[in-house]
Amino acid sequence: MNIVVESVRELFGFHRYEFIIANLGIIFLLSNFCGGLLYSIILAQGKPRKEVPLKERISFRLLLLGWGFVLVFAVYFHAVLFGKITMSHFIFWAITLVSAPALAYFGSQLTYVIFQKKIEHNRAAYKAGVDKIRAAKAAQMTAATKAAADDKAAAERKKKMDAEIDAKIAKSRKEHKVGQI
């Protein structure tokens, strides 16, 4: 660990609190890498589920939270503890922030290759489940449409029969002069 601290100190010109900075960078980058690893493992071992856009994933939100923590620490470190920021410090923090999502993606792809069959099986199972639900809804809608058409035809037949009965009653009244004085 001392080698890492010394190399960071020499490369980026940190003189105080090098251990804290090196540990923060390592923890932040490793947590993103491990998060990427776990994402594909969870996809493989979990239930079939809907694909979620990147901005709605918890991992994306955690990345933003991590960026926020790193930025707050960098501002605090350089404003309060160190008193200034040099170009090498800025490059260090920029590399840390930019490499975090790259490491998360790399970790995710690494485990995706390992669990590809299971992940694809889960995706296919989800799609089959959705297709089954859609087919059931389509069948239900078809049955409802057919029932509505049958009801409409039955209503028309009833209306026609009522009209015939009314016509017979009217004819019978005319012939027998029922209701006339």
In tens digits, the chain (181 residues) has pLDDT values of 567 667 766 776 666 666 677 777 788 888 888 888 888 888 788 777 777 777 777 777 778 888 888 888 888 877 777 777 778 778 888 888 888 888 888 888 888 888 888 888 888 888 888 888 888 887 777 777 777 777 777 778 888 887 878 777 777 667 666 555 5
CA 144/CA 166 separation, integer angstroms: 32
Structure pTM?
0.56
DSSP-based three-state secondary structure for 155: helix
Residue 25, token pair as written in the block: 């960078």
Spatial distance between the Cα atoms of 141 and 19, rounded to a whole number of angstroms: 66
